[in-house]
Chains A and B, each alone.
Chain A
Amino acid sequence: MASSTTFSTFEPWKDPAEKPYVCIDRVTKKFGDFVAVNDISLDIYRKELFCLLGASGCGKSTLLRMLAGFEEASSGRILIDGMDMAEIPPYERPVNMMFQSYALFPHMNVSQNVSFGLKQEKLTGQVIKTRVEEMLELVKLTQFAKRKPHQLSGGQRQRVALARSLIKRPKLLLLDEPLAALDKKLREHTQFELMNIQEQLGVTFIVVTHDQQEAMTLATRIGVMEEGYIAQVGTPTEIYEFPGSRFVADFIGSVNSFEGRITVDEPDHVIIRMLDQDVDIFVDHGVSASPNARVWAAIRPEKIHISRTDPGQARNVIRGKVKEIAYMGDFSIYLVELAGGRTVRVTQPNLRRGDPERITWDEQVFLHWLPSSIVVLTE
Chain B
Amino acid sequence: MKRRSLFLISAMVFGFAFLYVPIISLIVYSFNKSKLVTVWAGFSTQWYGALLQNDQILQAAWISLRIATLNATVAMALGTIAGFVLARFKRFRGRTLFTGLVTAPLVMPEVITGLSLLLLFVALESIIGWPSGRGFATITIAHITFSLAYVAVIVQSRLADMDESIEEAALDLGARPLKIFFMITLPIIAPALVAGWLLAFTLSLDDLVIASFVSGPGSSTLPMVIFSKVRLGVSPEINALATILVALVAVGTIIAGVAMLRSQKVRERDVQMAAADN
- Give residues in A with beta carbon < 8 Å to B: 68-70, 89-92, 95-97, 99-101, 103-107, 116-117, 120-121, 147-148, 150-153, 155-156, 164-165, 168
With CB as the reference atom, state the residue of chain B lying closest to A143. Answer: B277
Minimum CB–CB distance from B167 to chain A (whole Å) comes to 8
Q: Are B175 and A116 in contact (CB under 8 A)?
A: yes
Q: Are A121 and B271 in contact (CB under 8 A)?
A: no
Minimum CB–CB distance from B267 to chain A (whole Å) comes to 7
Chain B residues near A106: list those with CB within 8 A: 166, 188
- Give residues in B with beta carbon < 8 Å to A: 163, 165-166, 168-176, 184, 187-188, 267, 270-271, 273-275, 277-278
Given the interface pairs A101-B165, A103-B166, the reply to whether A117 lies near B174 with Cβ below 8 Å is yes
Q: Total number of A-B contacts with CB less than 8 angstroms?
A: 77
Q: Are A97 and B169 in contact (CB under 8 A)?
A: yes
Which of A103, A107, A116 makes the CB contact (< 8 A) with B187? A107
Given the interface pairs A99-B165, A107-B187, the reply to whether A150 lies near B172 with Cβ below 8 Å is no
Q: Summarize A's interface: helix, strand, loop or mixed.
A: loop
With CB as the reference atom, state the residue of chain A lying closest to B171. Answer: A90
Minimum CB–CB distance from A365 to chain B (whole Å) comes to 48
Q: Are B172 and A101 in contact (CB under 8 A)?
A: no
Could you list some 7 contacts between A and B, CB below 8 A?
Answer: A70-B168, A95-B172, A97-B172, A101-B165, A103-B165, A153-B275, A156-B274
Q: Are B275 and A103 in contact (CB under 8 A)?
A: no
With CB as the reference atom, state the residue of chain B lying closest to A98. Answer: B169
Q: Are B163 and A90 in contact (CB under 8 A)?
A: no
Minimum CB–CB distance from A270 to chain B (whole Å) comes to 51
Chain A residues near B172: list those with CB within 8 A: 68-70, 90-91, 95-97, 165
With CB as the reference atom, state the residue of chain A lying closest to B174. Answer: A120
Q: Are B173 and A164 in contact (CB under 8 A)?
A: yes
Chain B residues near A101: list those with CB within 8 A: 163, 165
Minimum CB–CB distance from A170 to chain B (whole Å) comes to 9
Minimum CB–CB distance from A182 to chain B (whole Å) comes to 12
Q: Summarize B's interface: helix, strand, loop or mixed.
A: helix
Minimum CB–CB distance from B154 to chain A (whole Å) comes to 19
Chain B residues near A70: list those with CB within 8 A: 168, 171-172
Q: Are A91 and B171 in contact (CB under 8 A)?
A: yes
CA distance A244 to B166 in the complex (A): 39
Q: Are A151 and B270 in contact (CB under 8 A)?
A: yes
Q: Are B166 and A151 in contact (CB under 8 A)?
A: no
Q: Are A117 and B173 in contact (CB under 8 A)?
A: yes
Minimum CB–CB distance from A186 to chain B (whole Å) comes to 10
Chain A residues near B169: list those with CB within 8 A: 97, 99, 103-105, 164
Chain B residues near A105: list those with CB within 8 A: 166, 169-170, 184, 188
CA distance A165 to B169 in the complex (A): 9
Given the interface pairs A150-B271, A151-B274, A153-B277, the reply to whether A91 lies near B174 with Cβ below 8 Å is yes
Minimum CB–CB distance from B175 to chain A (whole Å) comes to 5
CA distance A104 to B173 in the complex (A): 12
Q: Are B163 and A103 in contact (CB under 8 A)?
A: yes
Minimum CB–CB distance from B44 to chain A (whole Å) comes to 51
With CB as the reference atom, state the residue of chain B lying closest to A70. Answer: B168
CA distance A95 to B175 in the complex (A): 13
Chain B residues near A153: list those with CB within 8 A: 274-275, 277-278
Chain A residues near B270: list those with CB within 8 A: 148, 150-151
CA distance A70 to B173 in the complex (A): 13
CA distance A74 to B165 in the complex (A): 21
Chain B residues near A151: list those with CB within 8 A: 270-271, 273-274
